[in-house]
């Protein structure tokens, strides 16, 4: 199972998009859709600073890297979840993992694997520190439990040559824009949660603030 186009749009709406390197809240060089050197090539610290002259070309590169990062996180979710899940549940789990990096150790995943979906949905909210993350976590819980996708748009934020995010939008991407940049088709008019399917282990979320506190969230694993 892969993340659906709506799941991708929701994740990007949570994360935000910055087309040039910036220093996140803990001083880590970050770029694109929350990409850091820890995720692999390219190293944001080595990329040109400031908004690129050709924004469209820069966004194409951002989404190329994001596609690879998304697959890495998706594969970790496929390994961690041992029971059949619906598409909306998988999408929520990937968004959670992209933010926290803790899909393999989260209590809610263990509860899900144990067969208690309702309690697992409740336990998603164990990961609500710092307080800025609560709206995202609530949205992920709603998606997992109820199959309700947010009306997602991706904001492309301005950024200075010194690596400081400027909170003015350069561009706003619709779900269809995002799907096109990801190399897919436009979304259907009506969302569908779809039937439950087993995770495919053989194949292969002011919004930017959530991406900036990803590494901070990891410090609160004790909430589990």
State residue 113's pLDDT score.
Answer: 99
Domain count for the chain:
1
Distance CA 4, CA 135 (A): 21
State residue 222's pLDDT score.
Answer: 39
CATH number for 56: 1.10.530.40
Residue span of the structural domain in which 13 resides:
5-223
State residue 152's pLDDT score.
Answer: 83
Residue 200 structure tokens: 């495919």
Spell out the per-residue pLDDT of the chain, length 224, in tens.
999 999 999 999 999 999 999 998 789 999 999 999 999 999 999 999 999 999 999 999 999 999 999 999 999 999 999 999 999 999 999 999 999 999 999 999 999 999 999 999 999 999 998 888 999 999 999 999 999 999 889 999 999 999 999 999 999 999 899 989 988 654 444 344 443 434 443 333 344 443 444 443 333 343 45
State residue 184's pLDDT score.
Answer: 64
């Amino acid at each position: 199972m892969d993340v659906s186009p709506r799941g991708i749009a929701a994740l990007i709406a949570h994360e935000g998009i910055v087309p040039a390197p910036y220093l996140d809240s803990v001083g880590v060089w970050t770029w694109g859709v929350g990409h850091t050197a820890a995720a692999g090539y390219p190293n944001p610290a080595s990329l040109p600073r400031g908004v690129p002259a050709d924004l469209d070309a820069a966004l194409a590169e951002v989404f190329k890297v994001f596609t690879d990062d998304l697959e890495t996180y998706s594969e970790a979710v496929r390994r961690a979840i041992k029971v059949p899940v619906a598409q909306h549940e998988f999408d929520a789990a990937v968004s959670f993992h992209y933010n926290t990096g803790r899909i393999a150790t989260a209590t809610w995943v263990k509860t899900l694997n144990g067969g208690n979906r309702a309690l697992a949905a409740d336990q998603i909210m164990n990961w609500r520190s710092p307080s800025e993350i609560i709206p995202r976590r609530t949205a992920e819980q709603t998606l997992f439990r109820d199959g309700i996708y947010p009306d997602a748009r991706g904001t492309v934020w301005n950024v200075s040559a010194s690596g400081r995010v400027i909170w003015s939008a350069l561009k706003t991407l619709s779900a269809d824009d995002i799907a096109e940049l990801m190399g897919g088709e436009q979304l259907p008019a009506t969302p569908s949660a779809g039937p439950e399917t087993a995770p495919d282990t053989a194949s292969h979320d002011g919004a930017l603030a959530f991406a900036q506190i990803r590494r901070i969230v990891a410090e609160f694993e004790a909430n589990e």
